[in-house]
Chains A and B, each alone.
Chain A
Amino acid sequence: MTAGSRRDIALWTASRTGDSAKIHDLAPTAEELAAKDETGWRALDRAAGHGDVATVTALLEAGADPLATGEDERSPYGIALAAGHRDAARILREHAQRAGGESRAASWMPYCRAYPLNALRAYRDWPAEAATDPDGEPLPDSTLVYLHHDFTVTSAIWPGEDVVFDARTAEWERFCRQELGFAVPDDLDLVPEATTGGRHG
């Protein structure tokens, strides 16, 4: 974190207010793009929080690092996403992926979806002994179980605990995807429509 030179401050202000023209005028250096303001955020973090696509693009073209995280461990992509700026988030994600970054924030993990047991029992190789009570009796068809992002099934929402079924095969994955319609939602699909492309973070 720095106190900030006059150019740093001008860069942060332009980023925070969505002033892409000013960014072009400043033509910031790598050092200026990496400089943190008093809160620990860089120019790209501020631009992501504001959500102005042109400003975000200008900073990325100037060489801002889309993978850099601040002291709060938030990436520019995560900042834009949380603020509901879907277009800015999409651009930041593309740049992060091009820069070799993990798509850590591309979907909420761990993810699971609840199904009644009978939906899973429709699977051809579903083992009869899966999902029984402590006396070994089969649980009722209406019992809720949870299919996780790694295709395991548990009796509670916590991944890896109370596992009911973990025989992951290509056929099981196909059943889950095609018959159950299982898919981990993309983060961008979790942002309400009304907030896309916003300039008013």
Chain B
Amino acid sequence: MNNGRLRRLLTGRSGAGRGGSASARRSIPVVARHGPLDLSPNQLHEWLHDQEFGGVPLHDPLLLRLRGPLRVPALRTALHALVARHELLRTRFPVLDGGPRQVIEPVDRIRVPFADFSALPTDAGRRRELAALHRAALSGYALDRCPPGRFALARFGPTDHVLVMSVPHIVADLWSVSVLSQDLSALYRAAVAGRPAEPRAQEHDFADYVAWQAAQWTPETRAEELLRWQRGLHGITALPLPADHPRSAGTPARCWTHTESLDPTVSQRLRVWSRSENVTLFVTLLAAFHCLLARTCGVERMVTSSSSANRESDLTAGLVGPVPDYLVTDNDLAGDPGFREVLHRTGDAVLGAHGRKTLPHDELVQGLDPGRELRPHPLHQIYFNLLSTPRAQARLSPQLSVTVASADDGPREPFLIPENADLTVDCFDYGTGPIVFQLRCTAELYTAAAAPRWLRWYRSVLRQILEEPDTRLSRIRPLAAGEEITLAPAPRPRSRCPSDWIEKNAARIDGRLLGIWAKAVGPGHRSGEFFQNGRTEVDAAMMLRRIERDHGVRVALGDFLRAPTISTLLTAWTAGTSQTREHT
């Protein structure tokens, strides 16, 4: 990417939108669909996430309330065409040939149920039915058995329907939901008008994009790129975040989540001010967040990861699939700069991040820490995202009102969700109205009160920089008067298996376990540490699946990744096999 284009991106004057630029318009080969296909790096990440959290759906289904004269048969036609058009909506993810694969099901195997609630007595908001639909949308979720993308139409009455769209992250990102909504609308309108649907804009599908993306790399270019990252990020460490309690070993990865809207006036001032400073809103919000980290963690250098939609090119603009790329922003706030200076340093850091080629994120994390010594890994510790993806809008017909229905039976915030990072801020901005923040912070360090507290601190920083844009970093005060924080102590290094551990403990280790271990880590390898010889998280997941399938011993992937040694396995094996003996 050239610098001129980058600068346009950063200053928000990019012409790169849904259509993409003519220079980006390329064609990619369509790959054969004869057998199972590989997963993309993003899909692999989601698959691992699924393994780690035990197959629990982690996405929120979309319930669209359709009020007005809906042509039900036309919507059925449109839904079938949608599923036919986008392969990922009929793709499942079984383990085949030693790893997760994509299997695209034929169109006629996909069923879109019609659920009739019209016989039930009505209440004002149909809350019970909506809650039931929300639960139903997430039930039966199993990546390997059936395509996890699901659709259904519920009928509350002749002019009151709910369209259920349940598309997990392994199938679709936010942008994809917008693509799906637009496609569905166009397909519905064509069906209502009694004409054929317009053909899709792109000939290639996500599987073709995945193959094309993989072909961009050779082992040599991967090694070169990794070396550049290793040099660039040399010496980075996880930030000592202020915390409510020390990091507890072995706690399942869960995050408190909390959502708040920023005052609309403050939101608009931030947009206007960013334009006047010739930077994007993302740069302003990230700079303010880095100030917050600097002030609360007492550090001058910080590295945060961000997600980017990666939809500038024609290759990806109309794709349904998990396409996002990431940015690693390495910022230096030394010398007590004023906020305007922080802003420009952040802009440069983001520019530098855009200029890097991006190895798959998990591959980069692995490459920077091959032995999984870092806990937390600095690139997995803190995420900051601005999501300005076009809102999913289904414009089916002028006579139909389409609104997002809320099941309204979810837990009151803050509540816990499965997630690994220490701290994640998602900012939602649609160009007008309030900017919405969703903050997630790990339960390993925090109580429930921390999520709203972090957002209060962040709002405080934003207010101060708007009032006094040249205020020095040291003068920015996120905390209220008298409020105190305690930095989390550095985590204890994880327990390791010395190189002679297996030899010394050979008498204690079941030969079957030793056999599985030897097969997983590679022949001739005697170490008790798993991540040697280029082993990956997928290899670990496959080994644990094998242990569970063949011997009934379940070891959670998350637990193993926290201490990836044969010692961890032995503990679980001993407990698991003795339990099996008791049952028999």
Segment of B127-135, B287-295, B325-333, B568-576 in the binding face: B127-135
**A185-B76 Cα distance, complex, nearest whole Å:** 14
Nearest residue, chain A, Cβ from B156: A114
* B197 beta carbon closer than 8 Å to chain A: yes
Tell me which residues across on chain B come within 8 A of A51, comparing CB atoms: 194
Segment of A24-32, A70-78, A125-133, A169-177 in the binding face: A70-78
Segment of A2-10, A58-66, A95-103, A151-159 in the binding face: A151-159
| Contact A192 B107, beta carbon cutoff 8 Å | no
| Contact A72 B116, beta carbon cutoff 8 Å | no
Q: Which of A78, A81, A157 contacts B136 (CB 8 A)?
A: A157
- Residues 60 to 113 of chain B near chain A (Cβ within 8 Å): 69, 71-74, 76-77, 80-81, 84, 107, 111, 113
| Contact B191 A83, beta carbon cutoff 8 Å | yes
In the complex, which range does the number of interface residues on chain A fall in? Answer: 35 or more
* A116 beta carbon closer than 8 Å to chain B: yes
Tell me which residues across on chain A come within 8 A of B197, comparing CB atoms: 72
| Contact A157 B113, beta carbon cutoff 8 Å | yes
* B432 beta carbon closer than 8 Å to chain A: no
- Residues 122 to 159 of chain B near chain A (Cβ within 8 Å): 128-129, 132-133, 135-136, 139-140, 150, 152-154, 158
Q: Which of B76, B115, B194 contacts A146 (CB 8 A)?
A: B115
Q: Which of A48, A74, A144, A158 contacts B113 (CB 8 A)?
A: A158
Tell me which residues across on chain A come within 8 A of B154, comparing CB atoms: 157
| Contact A144 B192, beta carbon cutoff 8 Å | no
* A197 beta carbon closer than 8 Å to chain B: no
* B231 beta carbon closer than 8 Å to chain A: no
Q: Which of B76, B113, B114, B196 contacts A70 (CB 8 A)?
A: B196
* A72 CB, min distance to chain B CBs, angstroms: 6
* B481 beta carbon closer than 8 Å to chain A: no
**A195-B70 Cα distance, complex, nearest whole Å:** 11
Nearest residue, chain A, Cβ from B191: A82
Tell me which residues across on chain B come within 8 A of A79, comparing CB atoms: 191, 194
| Contact B119 A181, beta carbon cutoff 8 Å | yes
Nearest residue, chain A, Cβ from B114: A108
* A67 beta carbon closer than 8 Å to chain B: no
Tell me which residues across on chain B come within 8 A of A39, comparing CB atoms: 195-196
Bitwise interface map of B from 165 to 192 toward A, beta carbon under 8 Å scored 1, else 0: 0000000000000000000000000011
| Contact A110 B111, beta carbon cutoff 8 Å | yes
| Contact B114 A110, beta carbon cutoff 8 Å | yes
* A41 beta carbon closer than 8 Å to chain B: yes
A191 touching B71 in the complex, CB below 8 Å, given contacts A39-B196, A146-B115: yes
- Residues 333 to 348 of chain B near chain A (Cβ within 8 Å): none
Tell me which residues across on chain A come within 8 A of B81, comparing CB atoms: 72
Bitwise interface map of B from 520 to 546 toward A, beta carbon under 8 Å scored 1, else 0: 000000000000000000000000000
Q: Which of A73, A82, A155 contacts B84 (CB 8 A)?
A: A73
| Contact A49 B195, beta carbon cutoff 8 Å | yes
Tell me which residues across on chain A come within 8 A of B129, comparing CB atoms: 114, 144
Nearest residue, chain A, Cβ from B115: A157
Q: Which of B140, B150, B194 contacts A48 (CB 8 A)?
A: B194
Tell me which residues across on chain B come within 8 A of A111, comparing CB atoms: 113-114, 116
Q: Which of B73, B117, B119 contacts A187 (CB 8 A)?
A: B73
Q: Which of A50, A72, A113 contacts B196 (CB 8 A)?
A: A72
Nearest residue, chain A, Cβ from B76: A108
* A186 CB, min distance to chain B CBs, angstroms: 11
| Contact B72 A190, beta carbon cutoff 8 Å | yes
| Contact A156 B140, beta carbon cutoff 8 Å | yes
| Contact B194 A49, beta carbon cutoff 8 Å | yes
Tell me which residues across on chain A come within 8 A of B150, comparing CB atoms: 158
| Contact B115 A84, beta carbon cutoff 8 Å | no
| Contact A157 B133, beta carbon cutoff 8 Å | yes
| Contact B71 A113, beta carbon cutoff 8 Å | no
| Contact A161 B140, beta carbon cutoff 8 Å | yes
**A108-B77 Cα distance, complex, nearest whole Å:** 10
| Contact B140 A158, beta carbon cutoff 8 Å | yes
Bitwise interface map of B from 479 to 515 toward A, beta carbon under 8 Å scored 1, else 0: 0000000000000000000000000000000000000
Q: Which of B80, B136, B193, B196 contacts A158 (CB 8 A)?
A: B136
* A118 CB, min distance to chain B CBs, angstroms: 12
Tell me which residues across on chain B come within 8 A of A108, comparing CB atoms: 72-73, 76, 114, 153
* B120 beta carbon closer than 8 Å to chain A: yes
A-B residue pairs, 3 tightest by C-beta: A49-B194, A201-B194, A83-B194
| Given pairs A79-B194, A113-B115, A142-B128, 8 additional interface contacts (CB within 8 A) | A41-B196, A45-B196, A83-B192, A105-B73, A112-B116, A156-B136, A192-B71, A201-B192
Q: List 26 A-B contacts (CB under 8 A).
A: A39-B195, A45-B196, A49-B193, A82-B74, A82-B76, A83-B191, A83-B193, A108-B73, A109-B114, A111-B114, A112-B115, A114-B117, A114-B119, A114-B129, A114-B132, A142-B128, A144-B129, A144-B132, A157-B133, A157-B136, A157-B152, A158-B140, A158-B152, A159-B111, A162-B139, A181-B119
Interface residues of A (CB under 8 A from B): 39-41, 45, 48-51, 70, 72-74, 78-85, 105, 108-116, 142, 144, 146, 155-159, 161-162, 181, 185, 187, 190-192, 194-195, 201
